[in-house]
Structures are given as structure tokens and as C-alpha cells.
Amino acid sequence: MPKLLQDPRKAGQPTLVLYDVQDDRRRTKVMNACKDYGLARWQYSAYHGRLTGAARRELETRLEKAMGDSPGLIAVLQLEQWQIDDATILHQEAEDD
């Protein structure tokens, strides 16, 4: 199991990372960077978790390098707790066949 680059005992701010990177190799680097900072996959191209300010800046630098000159978009959104608390999230599990 890889060592997390942020101490999970440090709460940090709710953070959402959204990405759309076309190159498979670079997209894998983006996913691995998010995982290394303790973020959890929310959707195929979205990760969420809590990051300190320093960890967020480090992750942003790593994501910028991972994307390189490949076309795409990466958004790192720092949220407030009230935004998480007030969010409406609709979720339904797929039925097993």
C-alpha cells in the first residue's frame, strides 16, 4: 500500500478534484496523484476528501506536471463544510443481474 503524502490525522478542507484528461497515461498519473493524497474516487473522473492548504498546493503542482501538454482540464475545488452539508446527492445502486 502506498504511503499517503498527507497525514490523515490533519483534517484540512473538503476538496473536490474533477478532471477530463484525454491521454491514458497522463490520466493514470492524475488518478494516482489523487490517491496518494488520500482522496477517494467519487465518480470515474472525480475524487474527494480533505486536504490541508499545503497538501492542496503540492497536489496542484503534481497534477499540473501529470497533465503536461496533454489536452484536458483539471479543477481542484476547495469547499466549505456547509457546502457539503447542504449538497443534494442522489445515488442509486445498480441492480444485480
Only one residue has cell 490525522, namely: 9
With CA atoms as reference, report the closest residue to 56 among 69, 75, 43: 75
* Amino acid at position 15, single letter: T
34 alpha-carbon distance from chain centroid: 5
**23 annotated ligand binder:** no
What is the Cα–Cα distance from 23 to 84, expressed in whole angstroms? 31
Under the phi-then-psi rule, with left for phi > 0, alpha for psi from -120 to 50, and beta for the rest, what region is 56? alpha
Which residues carry a binding-site annotation? 20
Which residues carry a binding-site annotation for Mg(2+)? 20
